């Protein structure tokens, strides 16, 4: 399975959105079920389309032309369908734009309605982020202890 070239950016944006959702909840954040908070973040509209122009151009055109796509991932299919709707809307509002120009504007200017992944991926992103934070704190504490022992 190939790694998305936008994986790190997508995860960083999700963590930022997750932290923003927690900040908005304020004192209530610790009392909200974690899965509910993750779902709230997924549907927050704070993400974008983490896809190359080439992949989007191939698949969105197929959606617009009602050609089946070899895509078993329902979240990804929903993303293509949303992008197709927005691209068609751009072409309707700006008749001088061709398909590629309209799609480019969608990718460049439009926010996605959601993060196009499921709850398991969201859990994994948050878990890995917290694990990295914990490891960084431990490493910093270890360096501090080593520097104190040298003196």
58-72 pLDDT per residue, tens: 999 999 999 999 889
pTM for this prediction:
0.86
Nearby residues of 91 by Cβ (< 8 Å), 6 or more positions away:
97, 98, 99, 102
pLDDT at 87 over 80: yes
Residue 132's pLDDT band (cuts 50, 70, 90): very high
pLDDT value of position 1 = 47
Residue 150's pLDDT band (cuts 50, 70, 90): low
């Amino acid at each position: 399975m190939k790694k998305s070239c936008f994986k790190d950016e997508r995860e960083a944006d999700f963590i930022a959105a997750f932290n923003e959702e927690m900040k908005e909840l304020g004192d209530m954040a610790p009392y909200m079920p974690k899965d509910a908070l993750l779902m709230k973040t997924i549907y927050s509209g704070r993400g974008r389309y983490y896809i190359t122009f080439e992949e989007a151009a191939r698949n969105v055109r197929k959606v617009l032309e009602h050609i089946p796509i070899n895509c078993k991932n329902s979240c990804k299919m929903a993303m293509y369908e949303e992008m197709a709707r927005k691209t068609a809307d751009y072409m309707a509002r700006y008749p001088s734009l061709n398909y590629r120009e309209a799609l480019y504007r969608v990718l460049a200017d439009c926010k996605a309605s959601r993060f196009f992944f499921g709850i398991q991926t969201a859990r994994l992103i948050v878990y890995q982020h917290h694990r990295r934070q914990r490891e960084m704190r431990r490493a910093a504490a270890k360096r501090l202890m080593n520097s104190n022992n040298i003196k």
